[in-house]
Chain A
Amino acid sequence: MNGTAIELRGVGKTFGRVQALHDLNLTIRAGELTALLGPNGAGKTTAIGLMLGLLQPTAGTVRVLGGDPREARTRTQVGAMPQESALPGALTVREAVTLFARMYPAPLPVTEALALADLLPLAGRRAGALSGGQARRLAFALAVVGNPAVLYLDEPTTGMDAGSRQAFWAAAERMKAAGRTILLTTHYLEEAERTADRVIVMNAGHLLADGTPESLRARVATSRVRFTSDLVLAELRHLPGVEAAGVDERGHAALTTRTPEALVAALVQSGTPFRELEVTRASLEDAFLSLTAQASPAAVSA
C-alpha cells in the first residue's frame, strides 16, 4: 500500500516569462490523502496540470503510477475534478456520468458513483440546471466513476454548502478507505487538517513544507489566548510569556504565547476580572500563514 503513486523530479514550468514552478521534488505515496496548500499563484493548479499530463514540464520528469501521465494507460487509472465546473449542460446528470463511465475499462456502476456524490435525487436533472454546489458534486462523480487509482481534486469544496461539503468529505474518506490515492487542493484548511494524511505547502512555485498536519502545526509552537477584560495593551504585554498582543476598544484581547498555562495562571493571580477565556493550539491555518508569511519576502527577492 505504501508505494509511490506520483513522483515529480526536479520539475520546472514556465509560462512565457513567468516561472510557475521551480525545481519541484514531490513524492505522493499510494493510498494517502494529500492536501496541497498554498496561496493563489503558488503553482498548485500548474502542478496538477502536469500530473494530469495537460501540461508539459519545462524541466524535470513527472511519473504517475510509474508511467507518463499523458499515456492512455495512465489516464485510465486517473480521475480529475478540475477547478472550473465544465459540464455538458444539455446532458442529464445520469447521462453525463454514464458517458464518463464508458471511457474507463473497469468503471463503478453509475448508480454507485451517483450515490457517492449524493446525486441520486438529481440524476434526471440537466447538468446546466444544477446549482454551483451540485455542479461540483457532478464533477466529483465524473472523477470517481472510472474507479481510478489516483484522484485529483482541485478546490473540490469551493462553492459547496455545508451539507454538500460534509457529503463530499464522507465520500473522499470512502475512496481513501478503498485504497485510492487522493491529491487535493483546498482553501478550507480546517477540512484538510481533519482528513489529510499529509500536507504539502507551496508558495510562489516552491515547496515550503511537507509533513503530517500534526508536524506542520508543531512548527508553530505558539498558542492563542483570548479573553475580555479592562487591561490595556501595555498591561497585556507585561503578562508572562506574551510574544504578541492585541486588544480592541471593547477589551477583546488576543495574545500569542508558547506558555499558555503560565499566562492564564498569572492572569488569574493578578485578580483582574476577565471573561470569555479561550485558549487554542496553533491550527494548520496558523502554521500555513506563518510559513507563507516567512517565505514571501524571500520569494520576492528570488
Chain B
Amino acid sequence: MTTLTPTAAAPTRRAPVPPLLAGLVLAELRRLVRNPMFAIGTLGFPIMFFALFGLPAVHQTTESGANAGQYILVSFGTYSLLSVAMFSFGAAVATERMGGWLRLLRASPLPAPLYLAAKIIAALLFSALSLSLLSLFAHLAGGVTFPAGTGLLTGLKLLLGMIPLIALGLCIGFLASPASASVLANILSVIVSFGSGLFVPLDQLPKFMQALAPFLPSYHLAQLGWNAVSGQARGDAVHWVWLAGYTLVFGLVAAWAYRRDEARGQ
C-alpha cells in the first residue's frame, strides 16, 4: 500500500461498468441458484403443476383445432415467469432492504440503475432456464414439440412481456416486510395464474373470473404466448399496450417506494 494524500483533487474516475455489471449478474444468479427454496419454487413447481394438471391433456386439440400441448406449455411457462418475478424481486428485495444490504449498496459507488439492471438480467436468464427446463420436460414426458422458430419467438415474447411482472415484484419488495413479501409472492403467483386461465382454461372458470381476467397482467402475457403458438399476431397490440401500462404503473409505485426508503435513510 502506498501513502495517499486524500485531500488532493479527487479522481473523477469511475469503476468500469461491464465487469461490475457482469459481477452483479453473477452474484444474483448464484444467490438464486444457491437458495434451494427459490430453485424448487420457480423451477420445480411449474414442472410439477404441468405434470399434474397439464400433462393429461397435451394430446387433445382445442375447439379451434390447435395443439393443446403447446397451449398448456405456454400457460405453465407464464406461471413460471410470474413466480420468478414474484420471488426474485418481491421476496428477495424485501429481504435485502430490511437486512440493510441495500443500505450498504446505497452508500457504495454502485449506481442504483446498475443494481436494478443486474437483477433484471439475472431474472431473465433464470426465466429462460426455467422455460427451457419446462419445455424439455414437456417434450420428454408429453411429446410436446415446437418448430424451432415458433418456440424461440414464443419464448422471447414471454420474456419481454415479463417486464411488468418484474415491476410488480419490485413494488412488493419495496413495500412489504420480508415475511409478508414471501407470503404475497406465493399467493399472487398462484391466484393470479389461476385467474389468468393458466391452470384451467378460462372458459371453464366461473363467469366473474372470466370477466376479471383481462385486468390481470399475466392474462395478457399468456395471450401473447398463445398467439405466438397459433402463429397469429393480430391481437398482440392490445396486450402489449396493457403490459406497457402495467409496467408504467408498477414502475412508478416501485420508484416511489424506493425514494421513500431513501428519504428514511434505510
A203 to chain B minimum Cβ distance, whole angstroms, is 21
Q: A76-B15, A179-B5 are known contacts. Are A65 and B27 too (CB-CB below 8 A)? A: no
B216 to chain A minimum Cβ distance, whole angstroms, is 32
Task: Give the contacts of A36-79 with B (CB-CB under 8 A).
Answer: 49, 52-56, 65-67, 72-78
In the bound assembly, the distance between CA atoms of A80 and B101 in angstroms comes to 12
In the bound assembly, the distance between CA atoms of A133 and B2 in angstroms comes to 29
B15 touches A105 (CB 8 A): yes
A227 at the interface (CB under 8 A from B): no
Stretch at the interface among B17-25, B161-169, B192-200: B17-25
Please indicate the chain A residues that have their CB under 8 angstroms from the CB of B201 in the complex. Answer: none
Q: Contact mask A226-238 → B, CB, 8 Å, 1/0?
A: 0000000000000
What is the number of contacts between chain A and chain B, taking CB atoms within 8 Å?
Answer: 118
A9 at the interface (CB under 8 A from B): no
A82 touches B104 (CB 8 A): yes
Q: Which residue of B lies closest to A98 (CB)?
A: B23
In the bound assembly, the distance between CA atoms of A66 and B27 in angstroms comes to 33
The count of chain B contact residues (Cβ–Cβ below 8 Å) is: 36
A146 touches B7 (CB 8 A): no
| In-complex Cβ contact of B104 among A86, A91, A98, A105 (8 A) | A86
Q: Which residue of A lies closest to B34 (CB)?
A: A90
Q: Which residue of A lies closest to B22 (CB)?
A: A102
Q: Contact mask B7-31 → A, CB, 8 Å, 1/0?
A: 1001111110001100110010011
A20 to chain B minimum Cβ distance, whole angstroms, is 10
A66 touches B14 (CB 8 A): no
A178 touches B20 (CB 8 A): no
A286 at the interface (CB under 8 A from B): no
B103 touches A86 (CB 8 A): yes
Please indicate the chain A residues that have their CB under 8 angstroms from the CB of B107 in the complex. Answer: 52-54, 75, 78, 80, 82
B5 touches A1 (CB 8 A): yes
Please indicate the chain B residues that have their CB under 8 angstroms from the CB of A174 in the complex. Answer: 1
B10 touches A77 (CB 8 A): yes
B23 touches A178 (CB 8 A): no
A102 touches B20 (CB 8 A): yes
B106 at the interface (CB under 8 A from A): yes
Main secondary structure of the interface of A (DSSP, over half): loop
Q: A80-B104, A179-B4 are known contacts. Are A88 and B27 too (CB-CB below 8 A)? A: yes
B6 at the interface (CB under 8 A from A): yes
| In-complex Cβ contact of A149 among B1, B4, B101, B102 (8 A) | B4
A103 to chain B minimum Cβ distance, whole angstroms, is 5
Q: A53-B107, A75-B109, A87-B101 are known contacts. Are A5 and B11 too (CB-CB below 8 A)? A: no
A200 to chain B minimum Cβ distance, whole angstroms, is 19
B179 at the interface (CB under 8 A from A): no
| In-complex Cβ contact of A54 among B13, B23, B99, B103 (8 A) | B103
In the bound assembly, the distance between CA atoms of A4 and B8 in angstroms comes to 10
A31 touches B6 (CB 8 A): yes
B56 at the interface (CB under 8 A from A): no
A149 touches B30 (CB 8 A): no
A68 to chain B minimum Cβ distance, whole angstroms, is 11
A179 touches B104 (CB 8 A): no
Q: A75-B109, A88-B31 are known contacts. Are A179 and B10 too (CB-CB below 8 A)? A: no
A169 at the interface (CB under 8 A from B): no
In the bound assembly, the distance between CA atoms of A66 and B10 in angstroms comes to 8
Q: A149-B4, A179-B3, A179-B5 are known contacts. Are A90 and B35 too (CB-CB below 8 A)? A: yes
Please indicate the chain A residues that have their CB under 8 angstroms from the CB of B14 in the complex. Answer: 72, 76, 105
Q: A75-B107, A82-B104 are known contacts. Are A4 and B10 too (CB-CB below 8 A)? A: no
A65 touches B7 (CB 8 A): yes
A255 at the interface (CB under 8 A from B): no
A53 to chain B minimum Cβ distance, whole angstroms, is 7
A180 at the interface (CB under 8 A from B): yes
Task: Give the contacts of A97-139 with B (CB-CB under 8 A).
Answer: 98-100, 102-108, 112, 126
Q: Which residue of A lies closest to B17 (CB)?
A: A102
In the bound assembly, the distance between CA atoms of A112 and B2 in angstroms comes to 13
In the bound assembly, the distance between CA atoms of A267 and B103 in angstroms comes to 58
In the bound assembly, the distance between CA atoms of A91 and B30 in angstroms comes to 7
Task: Give the contacts of B95-111 with A (CB-CB under 8 A).
Answer: 99-104, 106-111
* 25 residue pairs from A and B, CB less than 8 Å apart: A1-B5, A5-B7, A30-B5, A30-B7, A54-B106, A56-B263, A75-B107, A75-B109, A76-B11, A76-B109, A80-B108, A82-B103, A84-B100, A86-B101, A86-B104, A95-B27, A102-B19, A103-B15, A105-B13, A106-B11, A126-B34, A146-B109, A149-B4, A179-B5, A179-B6
Given contacts A65-B10, A72-B14, A178-B2, 5 further A-B contacts (CB under 8 A): A52-B107, A80-B104, A99-B27, A105-B14, A150-B6
Interface on B for A, CB 8 Å cutoff? Answer: 1-7, 10-15, 19-20, 23-24, 27, 30-31, 34-35, 99-104, 106-111, 263, 265
Interface on A for B, CB 8 Å cutoff? Answer: 1, 3-5, 30-31, 49, 52-56, 65-67, 72-78, 80, 82, 84-88, 90-91, 95-96, 98-100, 102-108, 112, 126, 142, 146, 149-150, 174, 178-181
